[in-house]
Amino acid sequence: MKDGETKLTAPNLESRELWKGFLYSVIDLNVPSCLTLLPGQLQMLREVVDKERSRRRTRTPTRAPPSPLSVPLVGEIPPCFRPVSRTEAEVLLERHPDCGNMLLRPGRDGCSLAVTTRQDLNGSVFRHYRVTQRDQGGYVIDVENPIPCADLHEVIDALVEKTAGALQPFLLEEPYEENITYVSANDENGERILHTAPSSPLPRAPALPPKQDRWPSSPLSRSPAPDRRILTSPVPASPTNPMRRLILSPSPLTQTLNEELKMKLEKRRASQE
């Protein structure tokens, strides 16, 4: 229900099904077909449905709920605004005294607003103040000495200031669910039951191994490339040959080989002579 949850305990399964049949019959004005009941119990529920229909036809009509506002509101709506009737506002303030004692709500005519307050003086004392919107803009609190206000926030601030903080805005924190619930049908009897999802954390996917290099580097170090020095030729540049010739200087190994070949050639020439 709106103000909480009511639990009923039945002595056995048959009594539980009969209680559920009574509840469904009174609410829906129809005998439920999803329950396992005896013929005599079904006839009893039909009689209950007929009695409830006649009771609803003969009961006194209740006052219609307040109509929504037909005029646009100026500025932001204060957090203490509640779309409730006068009676519902009194019930809210009395049930939750720690959340404040003043709330803003729609008026009965749908063209104005009202402020409902509650204070303790040998019991609950409720007061209702009319707030109307001015043609030139803003609002006014309709009391003996009207209090003009620029917006609805100023209306609430004016009442707090006039009462030296005795009136405080009503701020009700709506509760949030602590567990995840879902409704599913029972496989055996088809009854829909409210289940609570497990609160244990979902298993995480296994971590992937770190990527390795596709081509592992060889432990052997590469030999350094031979030192080659680039020298420019002494030939000057000419219009027909703007680029200078580049000559690679011989490495130390090449010089050693050249010297050995040169010595062998000289020995061979000396032997031939």
- Which domains, and CATH codes, for the chain? 13-58 (no CATH), 69-196 (3.30.505.10)
What are the start-end ranges of the E strands in the chain? 102-106, 113-120, 124-133, 139-142, 147-149, 181-185, 192-196, 230-232, 246-248
Q: How many angstroms separate the most distant Cα atoms in the chain?
A: 151
**Higher per-residue confidence, 223 vs 208:** 208
Rounded CA-CA distance 185/260 in Å is 101
Q: What share of the chain is helix, strand, coil (3-state, %, to 5)?
A: 30, 20, 55
Give the bridge partners for 193, in sequence order. Answer: 184
Rounded CA-CA distance 117/101 in Å is 5
3-state secondary structure of 250: coil
Question: pLDDT grade, residue 178 (50/70/90)?
Answer: confident
Rounded CA-CA distance 7/11 in Å is 13
Rounded CA-CA distance 273/271 in Å is 5
Buried b (16+ CB within 10 A) or exposed e, 188-212: eeeeeeeeeeeeeeeeeeeeeeeee
Q: Which residues have a Cβ under 8 Å from the Cβ of 258 and sit 6 or more positions away? A: 250
Mean pLDDT over 165-174 rounds to 89
- How many C-beta neighbours within 10 Å does residue 116 have? 24
Output the pLDDT for position 168.
95
Structure tokens that stand for 86 in this block: 């006068």
Nearest partner of 165 among 217, 223, 101, judged by Cα: 101
**Mean of all residue pLDDT scores within the chain:** 79
Cα of 239 vs its chain's centroid, Å: 79
Mean pLDDT over 112-119 rounds to 94
pLDDT tens per residue, range 70-99: 556 667 889 999 999 999 999 999 999 999
